[in-house]
Structure 1
Amino acid sequence: MTENEQGRTLDAGALKALAHPLRVRIYDILSERGAQTASTLAKLIGETSGATSYHLRALAAQDLIREVPDRGTSRERWWERPKGRINLPGPDQALTPAGRAAAQIVTSEFFALRHQSLMEYLNRPVSETPEGWADAGLVTTTMLDLTPVQMEEMKDELTRVVDEAVARYAGQEGAPGTRRVTMRAEIFDLPTSGASKEES
């Protein structure tokens, strides 16, 4: 299994570089929209190209993004996010207090952007929805009662579905009729109120 298939777990240096709201936003835009320049990013996020250029260099220094080969000029460089998933270290992994704080910033910013994009999708007027896309999406929530083993089985099954979709549709970027879509798979246990069933 390659590193791209396994995903890259961000180390302390990468976490520190990414732990800034604008850098998370830039990283997210490169994931969603593909390669950008400092100037195009500046227009998208309402910053100066000098600011976006500074943040791009900080991300590139940790190999979070890379310059697009054979594109652009010495004055206008194009940047892209390498393919593959990234993994944030969990709260139980060996991190310094500064590393834990950086991981929390990155996680909070990523999920704030995810929620923002979901709400924009839910509130998008029909007039702004391209033909054929109105009923193509799915937003669903259900509740299940599972054991930890069953939930882990569901997690593995959902991961397989996502990985198979990534492999099946790889290389379609920019193909006629395609649009960038976001695919979410979430499964987690909810907090209990009062004593759990095991304790009763």
Structure 2
Amino acid sequence: MDEQTDGRSLPELREIDLDSLKGLAHPLRVRIVDVLSSHGSLTASGLAERLGESSGATSYHLRQLERHGFVREVTGKGTGRERWWERMPGGITISDRTITDTPTGRAASSLVLTQWEQNRSQLVLDFAQRGWDILPHEWTDPAVFSSSNLRLTAEQLAEVSGAIEQFLEDIVERFRGKDAPGARPVLIHFDAFPIVDGVATPTED
């Protein structure tokens, strides 16, 4: 399980342990990390407004995320009553099989991956439903949604995945730390498209 960040100049992926994984394994915490990744630093109130939650809830979960090393307070910004938060630099990964070989590790991994995918899926839907109506052609024309259906062995899948990850990393590296004028949040996940609303709003049950 890998999750990259917002395309700024970042260190290598962080290998997280089971305790950190359990600290992330809450739907709102995953959503907070996603929003900070897409839009940069925000206050608890700003996050609450975007996520449709109370500032008390976002404050609590920010403190938990800070404890486990996923977010940090922005130094020199805000006041004692208004703390600004940002995602810790670097992506995260779980490659230790002993974590996912345990019931607790599998449950935490499943929750985090499920919430990440729900967030991404909602952003795709936002673009599909509203993107062409509210964004100019210069943003909608480069958008790409691509999929391929293959029959592969496990070894071939590993080869394809590794090559795609390396290719994406080589391309993305050219743009890290370059917040050019006119830039807006863009999600690249084998699809590439401009984020319309910038936040994945959960669907009603």
**Matched residues in 2 for 1:125 and 1:185: separation?**
18
| 1:4 pairs with one of 3, 11, 16 | 11
> Letter of the aligned partner of 2:148 in structure 1?
T
Where relative contact order (Cα < 8 A, 6+ residues apart) is larger, the structure is 2
Partner of 1:117: 123
Preserved contact between residue 11 and residue 90 of structure 2 (Cα < 8 Å) = yes
Matched, 1:177 2:177: no
| 1:78 pairs with one of 72, 76, 84 | 84
Q: CA deviation at 1:71?
A: 1.0
Partner of 1:25: 31
Q: Which protein is richer in strand relative to its size? A: 2
Classify the secondary structure of the residue corresponding to 2:144: coil
Partner of 1:197: none
Q: CA deviation at 1:125?
A: 4.6
Preserved contact between residue 47 and residue 55 of structure 2 (Cα < 8 Å) = yes
Partner of 1:195: none
Classify the secondary structure of the residue corresponding to 1:43: helix
Q: What does 1:54-133 correspond to in 2, within 5 Å?
A: 54-88=60-94, 92-94=97-99, 96-133=102-139
RMSD value over aligned CA atoms?
2.1
Q: What does 1:136-155 correspond to in 2, within 5 Å?
A: 136-155=142-161
> Letter of the aligned partner of 1:154 in structure 2?
V
Matched, 1:45 2:55: no
5+ residue gaps, structure 1, are 187-200
Percent sequence identity over aligned pairs: 41
5+ residue gaps, structure 2, are 1-9, 192-205
**Matched residues in 1 for 2:31 and 2:18: separation?**
19
Preserved contact between residue 44 and residue 58 of structure 2 (Cα < 8 Å) = yes
Which is further off, 32-41 or 118-127?
118-127
Preserved contact between residue 22 and residue 108 of structure 2 (Cα < 8 Å) = yes
Q: CA deviation at 1:98?
A: 2.4
> Letter of the aligned partner of 2:125 in structure 1?
M
Preserved contact between residue 89 and residue 103 of structure 1 (Cα < 8 Å) = no
**Matched residues in 2 for 1:24 and 1:154: separation?**
27
> Letter of the aligned partner of 1:93 in structure 2?
T
Aligned pair in 2 of structure 1 residues 104, 170: CA closer, same or farther (>3 Å)?
Answer: same
**Matched residues in 2 for 1:147 and 1:89: separation?**
20
Which is further off, 45-54 or 95-104?
95-104
Preserved contact between residue 21 and residue 109 of structure 2 (Cα < 8 Å) = yes
| 2:19 pairs with one of 13, 18, 39 | 13
Partner of 2:199: none
Question: Residue by residue, what CA displacement relative to the aligned partner does 1:143-198 show, whole Å, maximum 9, x if unpaired?
Answer: 2344444332222221112211231001123x212111111139xxxxxxxxxxxx
